[in-house]
């Protein structure tokens, strides 16, 4: 193992990590927003919108991120829609993640018995108040393990960004291997940097989960 | 009958072909305790759910203070504030502490200041003997305790009438007693209540009027509960009451 070379590569990996984290979190945030919107639309059975949401979810859940990125990056320009590689990454991750988040949140919403909403409404709450104060908080806390799994999954999926020439972690490792053939060193660094990015998410996620689920499930 | 607090006229409720409430009429006066008994599936619980507009109805109407209670109406949540309801399964909010369970509606719906609502909540909790549990979560309470909290949660809204839907059906015998004691106290203080129950001794003790419901109709009605439970007038009620003897 050539530690000298690894030390030389470090700054490149750091830059790549910064880019991966930046795009990754923007994508995850977008995924959350899309997911919550779709889940609420489906839960409330809003006409038309719920069909749109269902089509969207099936479309993006059943195609690989790689294909979605290629579509955004290489096909859309052919019809005059050119977007930057970085925006492609955020959009691709957000759209794929949105479909997963929607299903996770929806399953949380559906796990809350209708009588919870009825007992809230019989106290004089409107349907919206019952949803906001009684149903949603319970649904979110039940969805937390699934949501955290989705976040980790999405952040790992950033590794396909290299295919649209974003200089993320994967791209950097492949690039360096191509130039210097230090395969072992580069891949070790790659593993370490993915762990640096994701382990805190895992740990933080467990803490959030314990905090949110404390009321219902105890310590 | 003109000054009835709650009036139900020709209420009809059906799920498709299956008729649950068959042109049922009934009035409850202020301060009156009306107990509804009858075999499972006779429409007792559905009746309470219709009064609170938790179900669509197929005919007739429900009037509270002479005003129709309509499920689709804009002011339905305002109307529901006047109707307190307690369910068989308590249905406390599991993500909130006992105190927050009780305070949620007064604060969010009636916009009462927390300090004022909290003072009343603590007083009510004390009345049902659970003041020391205010910071616990529902999962830490027994069934009987949860049901007493559910009653407090309804009471703090100052409802004009309380609907109690088989509130002891899911409880152990010992807990039944502690819950019914709370309801008896309410009756003594003049609360208006419409109670669905399978506890016949309790019904006899608390009722100003008893209704025996079957097949979505009132089969027998009696303003003298002692007499009704001793000698029901109809054969069907006699049969039903016999199922409680061994």
Q: Are A138 and A105 in contact (CB under 8 A)?
A: no
Phi–psi pair at A91, nearest 5 degrees: -60, -45
Complex ipTM value: 0.91
* pTM attached to this predicted model: 0.85
> Under an 8 A CB cutoff, do B87 and A133 touch?
no
- The predicted model gives A55-74 an average pLDDT of 93
Per-residue pLDDT at A81 exceeds 50: yes
The minimum CA-CA distance between B91 and chain A, rounded to whole Å, is 6
**Every domain of chain A and the residues it spans:** 3-217
Question: If you average pLDDT over every residue of chain A, what do you get?
Answer: 92
pLDDT at B1: 47
pLDDT grade, residue A93 (50/70/90)?
very high
Chain B hits for A215, Cβ within 8 Å: 94-97, 137
Determine contact: B96 vs chain A, CB below 8 A: yes
Tokens 């396909």 map to which residue?
Answer: A160
Chain B hits for A120, Cβ within 8 Å: 93, 104-105
In what helix (H) or strand (E) does residue B187 lie, and over which residues does it extend?
helix B173-188
If you classify domain A3-217 with CATH, what class do you get? Answer: mainly alpha
pLDDT at B36: 96
pLDDT at B25: 95
Chain A hits for B95, Cβ within 8 Å: 137-138, 141, 215-216
> Under an 8 A CB cutoff, do A137 and B104 touch?
no
The minimum CA-CA distance between A170 and chain B, rounded to whole Å, is 42
- The predicted model gives A207-211 an average pLDDT of 88
Query: Per-residue pLDDT tens for B48-57?
Result: 999 999 999 9
> Under an 8 A CB cutoff, do A123 and B137 touch?
no
Beta bridge partners of B210: B35, B222
- The predicted model gives A65-88 an average pLDDT of 91
Closest residue of chain A to B82, computed from CA coordinates: A124
Total residues found in chain A within this entry: 219
Low-confidence spans in chain B with pLDDT less than 70? 1-2
Closest residue of chain A to B81, computed from CA coordinates: A124
Q: Please tell me the distance from the alpha carbon of residue B44 to that of residue B217, in angstroms, as a whole number.
A: 10
Distances (CA, A) of B113 to B110, B118, B161: 9, 8, 24
Determine contact: A124 vs chain B, CB below 8 A: yes
Determine contact: A216 vs chain B, CB below 8 A: yes
Query: Per-residue pLDDT tens for A169-205?
Result: 999 999 999 999 999 999 999 999 999 999 999 999 9
Q: Please tell me the distance from the alpha carbon of residue A44 to that of residue A59, in angstroms, as a whole number.
A: 21
- The predicted model gives A67-85 an average pLDDT of 91
């Amino acid at each position: 193992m050539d530690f000298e070379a690894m030390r030389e590569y470090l700054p490149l990996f750091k830059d790549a990590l910064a880019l991966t984290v930046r795009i990754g979190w923007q994508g995850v945030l977008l995924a959350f927003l899309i997911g919550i919107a779709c889940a609420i639309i489906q839960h409330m059975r809003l006409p038309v919108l719920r069909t749109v949401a269902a089509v969207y979810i099936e479309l993006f859940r059943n195609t690989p991120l790689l294909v979605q990125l290629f579509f955004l990056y290489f096909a859309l320009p052919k019809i005059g829609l050119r977007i930057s590689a970085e925006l492609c990454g955020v959009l691709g991750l957000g759209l794929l993640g949105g479909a997963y988040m929607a299903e996770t949140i929806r399953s949380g919403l559906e796990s809350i018995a209708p009588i919870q909403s009825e007992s809230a409404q019989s106290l004089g709450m409107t349907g919206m108040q019952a949803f906001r104060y009684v149903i949603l908080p319970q649904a979110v806390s039940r969805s937390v393990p699934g949501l955290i799994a989705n976040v980790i999954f999405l952040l790992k999926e950033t590794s396909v960004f290299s295919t649209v020439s974003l200089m993320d972690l994967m791209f950097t490792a492949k690039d360096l291997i191509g130039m210097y053939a230090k395969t072992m060193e580069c891949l070790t660094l790659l593993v370490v940097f993915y762990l640096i990015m994701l382990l805190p998410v895992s740990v933080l996620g467990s803490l959030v989960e314990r905090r949110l689920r404390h009321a219902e499930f105890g310590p | 009958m003109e000054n009835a607090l709650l009036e139900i006229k020709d209420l009809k409720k059906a799920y498709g072909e299956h008729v649950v409430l068959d042109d049922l009429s009934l009035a409850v006066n202020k301060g009156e305790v009306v107990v509804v008994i009858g075999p499972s599936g006779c429409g007792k619980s559905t009746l309470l759910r219709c009064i609170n507009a938790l179900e669509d109805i197929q005919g007739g109407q429900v009037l509270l203070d002479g005003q129709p209670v309509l499920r689709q109406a804009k002011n339905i949540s305002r109307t529901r504030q006047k109707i307190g309801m307690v369910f068989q399964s308590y249905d406390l909010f599991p993500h909130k502490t006992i105190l927050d369970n009780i305070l949620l509606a007064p604060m969010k719906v009636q916009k009462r200041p927390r300090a004022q609502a909290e003072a009343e909540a603590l007083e009510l909790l004390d009345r049902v003997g659970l003041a020391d549990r205010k910071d616990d979560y529902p999962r830490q309470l027994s069934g009987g305790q949860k049901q007493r909290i559910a009653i407090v949660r309804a009471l703090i809204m100052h409802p004009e009438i309380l609907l109690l839907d088989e509130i002891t059906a899911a409880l152990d015998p010992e807990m039944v007693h502690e819950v019914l004691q709370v309801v008896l106290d309410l009756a003594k203080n003049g609360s208006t209540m419409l109670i669905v129950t399978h506890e016949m001794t309790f019904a006899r003790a608390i009722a100003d009027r008893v209704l025996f419901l079957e097949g979505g109709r009132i089969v027998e009605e009696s303003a003298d509960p002692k007499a009704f439970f001793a000698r029901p007038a109809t054969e069907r009620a006699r049969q039903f009451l016999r199922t409680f003897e061994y």
